Amino acid sequence: MRQLLNSTFEGTLRVPGDKSITHRSLMLAALAEGRTEIKQPLKSEDTYRTMEIMRAIGADITELDDKWIIESKGHEHLHSPSAALYTGNSGTTSRLIIGLLAGVGLRAEFSGDDSINKRPMDRVQKPLLEMGADIRLKDEKYPPVHIFPKPLKAIDYNMPIASAQVKSAILLAGLFAEGTTVVRESSPSRDHSEIMMQQFGADLVSKDGVISLEGKKTLKASDVTVPGDISSAAFPIALAILKPGASITIENVSLNPTRSGILEVLEMMGADMHIETLPGGGEAIGNITASYTPELRGFNISGEIIPRLIDEIPILALLAAYSSEPCTVSDAEELRFKETDRIRAVVDELSKFGIRFEEKEDGFTVIPGSIDSVPETDVKGYHDHRIIMMLIVFSIVSDTPLNIDDSSAIDISYPGFINDLESLRKDA
Ligand SMILES: O=C(O)C1=C[C@@H](OP(=O)(O)O)[C@@H](O)[C@H](O)C1
Ligand SMILES: C=C(OP(=O)(O)O)C(=O)O
């Protein structure tokens, strides 16, 4: 990483495929009858956990260089796994497979790594119990999760939190339930499951925050081309904005409005950024060019935008530290239930450099003007990919080595991160 210091960054990049879309395409391909090609999938720790689980329940998956081919005889031919499943560090795998396994009517048990085994699963269990599922949790909240086969009936569910993982688990179960499953959201969370279920032939309508899905319909295989992940793109974009002389274009990245809240905040901050939308159906895609912006304005975000940028808040905190005005994030208590408590992690690590925060239960305010000199410092990554990549961007922007205890978790979502930055490096 030290080779990235004292450089500037210029050029064009394609970030790896979208993690949320890759997980869902593996799951829907396993449930559908026929052959699905997933083009440009994200090959990362988290998506391999989903792949292994789809194999363990009977999907036939071939990995080629630039695509995965999934052949399945449909959900009726899937079977209970012969051993306990492992979801690693992946919240999306863990939450979504509860809905999928209960929906198909399989018997299974799973747990994950130390972080997953501390993340709440009762948020998914609750609506599924209402559907008639039999799901048991450790201490009524955590993995190991045990799922037993039971017939399901549709429910009408008001989402108590904005969570695409909970919504998707209900919809995956609803595919096989008797009746019409309805999910009501007050703030829109990412809608990849809805878009992809429609593509695979589900009878699903989504309008004004109400999603209705008819149960007991057979899915048909359908090819998926995975766009670049805007959550991964956020790191080189932030680098471009903060690093004098930098200008980076990210091509072919998801611009789905339920994911692109970060771009709205960068506009509020007055970042030098140009967005070009590309034609196509389904998921919105485009190219983003971001360039060094010497003066950044503040922001104050809360409410409906939060789920649309939830994974970008660690890197937004770094951008906020370089702003000339206060920056406030509220209504983001969900950050405390991610790979680590991301509010604590951001505040604890960035405070080491004199960056001043007012921490709240549901977010923080960053006080302007607090960065002056950045000394070489030991920092912690908490085995959280988003925290680690934020710290790496900070190190590069400040031209200061930051000694991160362990960077291996980058592979959870963006295995080629350092190489991609290296490819953009121009010696200063
Ligand atoms: O459904 C998904 O693919 C995801 C939903 C979000 O989690 P929540 O549903 O817990 O908000 C997000 O933080 C996570 O990275 C991926
Ligand atoms: C929170 C994340 O993922 P997951 O919930 O799938 O572990 C993330 O990718 O930032």
Q: What are 23-81's pLDDT values in tens digits?
A: 999 999 999 999 999 999 999 999 999 999 999 999 999 999 999 999 999 999 999 99
CA within 13 Å, CB half, 233: 31
DSSP secondary structure, 13-51, as one string: E-PPBPHHHHHHHHHHHHHSEEEEEEES---SHHHHHHH
Verify that 151 and 212 share a domain, yes or no: yes
Q: What's the CA dihedral at 58, 211, 334, 17 to 10 degrees?
A: 50
Which structural domain, as residue segments, surrounds residue 194? 19-225
Give the ligand 1 atom nearest the CA of 167.
Answer: 9
Q: Would you place residue 373 in the very low, low, confident or very high pLDDT band (cuts 50, 70, 90)?
A: confident
CATH of the domain at 31: 3.65.10.10
pLDDT in tens, 314-366: 999 999 999 999 999 999 999 999 999 999 999 999 999 999 999 999 999 99
Of 206, 225, 244, which closes a domain? 225
Decide which of 426 and 259 is more confident: 259
Tell me whether residue 35 is annotated as binding.
no
β-partners of residue 110 are 85, 145
Verify that 380 and 401 share a domain, yes or no: yes
Longest Cα pair distance anywhere in the chain, in angstroms? 64
Q: Residue 27: which residues within 8 A CB-CB, separation 6 or more? A: 50, 54, 96, 97, 100, 172
Q: What is the pLDDT of residue 369?
A: 81
In the DSSP assignment, the letter for residue 336 is G
DSSP element (H, E) containing 204: strand 204-207
CA distance 268 to 326: 13
Ligand 2 mean position, distance from CA 408 (Å): 15
Ligand 2 mean position, distance from CA 295 (Å): 31
Verify that 49 and 6 share a domain, yes or no: no
CA distance 395 to 375: 10
- Indicate which residues carry an active-site annotation: 311
CA distance 34 to 275: 37
Tell me whether residue 125 is annotated as binding.
no
Ligand 1 mean position, distance from CA 344 (Å): 19
Identify the residues whose C-beta falls under 6 Å from ligand 2: 19, 46, 90-92, 311, 338-339, 386, 413
Verify that 240 and 112 share a domain, yes or no: no
Give the ligand 2 atom nearest the CA of 413.
Answer: 9
Verify that 149 and 245 share a domain, yes or no: no
Q: Is the pLDDT confidence value at 220 over 70?
A: yes
End-to-end alpha carbon distance in the chain: 16
Give the ligand 2 atom nearest the CA of 116.
Answer: 7
Ligand 2 mean position, distance from CA 93 (Å): 9
Verify that 221 and 238 share a domain, yes or no: no
| Ligand index nearest the alpha carbon of residue 388 | 2
Verify that 85 and 201 share a domain, yes or no: yes
Verify that 407 and 357 share a domain, yes or no: yes
Residue owning tokens 């921490």? 359
Of 176, 193, 225, which closes a domain? 225
> Which residue has the least CA distance to atom 14 on ligand 1?
92
- Kindly state if the Cβ of 20 falls inside 6 Å of ligand 1: yes
Percent of the chain residues topping a pLDDT of 70: 100
Give the ligand 2 atom nearest the CA of 46.
Answer: 6
CA distance 298 to 240: 18
Verify that 217 and 240 share a domain, yes or no: no
Cβ pair 357, 367 in contact under 8 A: yes
Verify that 231 and 220 share a domain, yes or no: no
Of 169, 197, 225, which closes a domain? 225
> Which residue has the least CA distance to atom 1 on ligand 2?
338
Q: Is the pLDDT confidence value at 159 over 80?
A: yes
Verify that 415 and 272 share a domain, yes or no: yes
Interface confidence (ipTM) of the complex: 0.99
Q: Is the pLDDT confidence value at 428 over 80?
A: no
Q: Residue 304: which residues within 8 A CB-CB, separation 6 or more? A: 187, 188
Verify that 296 and 410 share a domain, yes or no: yes
Tell me whether residue 356 is annotated as binding.
no
Tell me the one-letter amino acid at 86: Y
DSSP secondary structure, 288-299, as one string: EEEE--S----E
DSSP element (H, E) containing 422: helix 417-423
CA distance 239 to 234: 9
Average pLDDT, stretch 242-253? 98
Number of domains making up the chain: 2
Phi, psi of 308 (to 5 degrees): -85, 0
Residue 351 CB neighbours (<10 A): 13
